[in-house]
Structure 1
């Protein structure tokens, strides 16, 4: 019941924060203008939606700590500071990018600093063993040039999750909806007997409430966008929840599997063709589904469904089962990609005739 209460509180705070953030975005002219071929909206839409999620999450968390701080007594204060400072860095960097359209080499600064804040605070750095789905474990109890392998892994994981949701944010409600599904999955996983982490469950359900409150305004037709700050914040928070007390990395990867594979494919393709891996284009899966005739809502709901299915599946699988699920996910991704390309070429050929 307590979890439901704080979900509702975060949801309501987010609902109340969004109109305020929208007014601020209009006032400071932080808007997404439909002046690019990739844009699928036809009118200016305010950015800065991530600030509503940020405000809702941390205000609700403060309220939770005021009354139930004993639940978090086992967590060092520096973990919370690392999470807050990292998120704040993304808010500042995202605002500057949304306002001034920073070049890619400048955009990467805030995600890198946010990931470093996590590592420096010690979040997840104590993870020295990762389960091997084929049996046994991967040992991270060694150093590379004096830096622990665990710290390197956490840095790469957090940065990768940040960019996954950043690149996913190309359609109304897509990144926010899938992140809400991921947050809810982490919540239920944290309550299972084999994980049993009430702290992570509390953080995940507060986060989910904040995101769902924002999604009310972000689902198609959206009246506000996440912006750079919001799209990076989502991946950052999910990464932190996954490594805070260990045991949930594979779940996060599976729930976010389609976007992760999509990002990996698009980046590899850009590098292959000699373009910047950070240069935006319309080669992402959600754009391909849109191009072959699905509406925005249909595309988003398809990807919601896939994320939800794999989220539910991961709640009942052990390591080997998760590997099999990942292979199935790769197969699904490949089928969607091939089908979208074939249908798109057929439609293009039909138009030319």
Structure 2
């Protein structure tokens, strides 16, 4: 991927700056919250035993802003900004909107409906300012590219964005889980964007998703040392919703703006790779979200009600430790996401082999407690943070 038009060094610098600023700011935010007493008390549905600050998302947003500002100053990345494209401006304003909603929620705990309205507004801002789905590829017959009108584009963009925001929010139940999954998903989209930049000779449409994904990987990597078990600070809904929105932004920019008829692959999987990569990258969070809503509604409960039946809870019940549960979920998401993106990089046979091996390894890791006979044994209390999430 070292071909003409691929700014690898610049994107790497954006990623590193996002990680460094987030890491440094997270410590500062934690210190400020502790000194001012802004530490979340233990709620009835929480399982952690110590009050813990939960505004790590503010540090992540700071790292994101710093990374985007740097990217705008680098000549090799200016094609991703105004006046060439409005997408990065749209991302910045929508990210600011979702962070504002998250901060208020983390401090005062908004109702599920108010939070949902805030998410819709943030998604709408992104679409109105110029980052929305305009093309949709239908793999029927010889393949058809549907051009969405303004209303269809806005509605579809808002739906996808709100879905991903809540998918990440739902899965944010164990220390380091949401940040790790966001980092993996962002890396998959980044690799795909670099592939498009290489194959299409530096296409302008691939710059915004590459920049967004690089910054997303960086902020997730930056908070993980603070957030991995045992966590010293939670990212809160501020951070989880920011990750979801940035994933939606990168996904929309990569899949909803690139005409797939221009993509060089003749294999259907390669041709559909933008949508497959995006879907694969968020497969586990979305599955958990849909599963939770169906489960709650089928039992006559509100889809907003918190419970302890998420995928990570089931892995804990199976006998995994806190850290191993998180690592197992990392393996599943990596297998699906990088398996999908491999179809855009290597021959189909090699991609299929890689995907199968990765999935088998994830499956074997999931069943480790069965082989060790740990089901039913008591485990030490784990830090499980439950939120009330709008579906």
* TM-score for both structures, normalised by structure 2: 0.76
Distance in 2 (alpha carbons) for counterparts of 1:291 and 1:32: 26
Look up the SS of the partner of 1:130 in the other structure.
strand
> Which of residues 147, 170, 189 in structure 2 aligns to 1:141?
147
Aligned residues: 331
The CA deviation at 1:300 is 0.3
> Could you tell me which residue of structure 2 aligns to residue 216 of structure 1?
225
> Which of residues 227, 234, 238 in structure 1 aligns to 2:236?
227
Q: Is residue 267 from structure 1 mapped to residue 274 from structure 2 by the alignment?
A: no
> Which of residues 148, 153, 165 in structure 2 aligns to 1:150?
153
* TM-score for both structures, normalised by structure 1: 0.84
2:87/2:208 contact within 8 Å kept: no
* CA spacing shift, 1:66–1:177, aligned 2, 3 Å: same
2:60/2:219 contact within 8 Å kept: yes
Look up the SS of the partner of 1:123 in the other structure.
coil
The CA deviation at 1:115 is 0.9
* CA spacing shift, 1:138–1:105, aligned 2, 3 Å: farther
The answer for unaligned runs of 5 or more in structure 2 is 1-8, 259-273, 378-391
> Could you tell me which residue of structure 1 aligns to residue 177 of structure 2?
174
The CA deviation at 1:73 is 4.9
Look up the SS of the partner of 1:31 in the other structure.
coil
2:180/2:224 contact within 8 Å kept: yes
> Could you tell me which residue of structure 2 aligns to residue 48 of structure 1?
55
Look up the SS of the partner of 1:5 in the other structure.
helix
Distance in 2 (alpha carbons) for counterparts of 1:64 and 1:277: 40
1:1-353 to 2 correspondences below 5 Å: 1-37=9-45, 39-68=46-75, 70-73=78-81, 76=84, 78-127=86-135, 129-132=136-139, 136-137=142-143, 140-141=146-147, 148-192=151-195, 193-194=198-199, 197-246=206-255, 248-317=274-343, 347=376
What is the root-mean-square deviation in Å for CA atoms of aligned residues?
Answer: 3.1
* CA spacing shift, 1:59–1:271, aligned 2, 3 Å: same
| Cα displacement string for residues 316-342 of structure 1 (whole angstroms, at most 9, x for unaligned residues) | 227xx899x89x98xx99xx79x99xx
The answer for unaligned runs of 5 or more in structure 1 is 349-353
Distance in 1 (alpha carbons) for counterparts of 2:71 and 2:32: 27
The CA deviation at 1:84 is 1.5
1:30/1:98 contact within 8 Å kept: no
* CA spacing shift, 1:75–1:261, aligned 2, 3 Å: farther
1:166/1:235 contact within 8 Å kept: yes
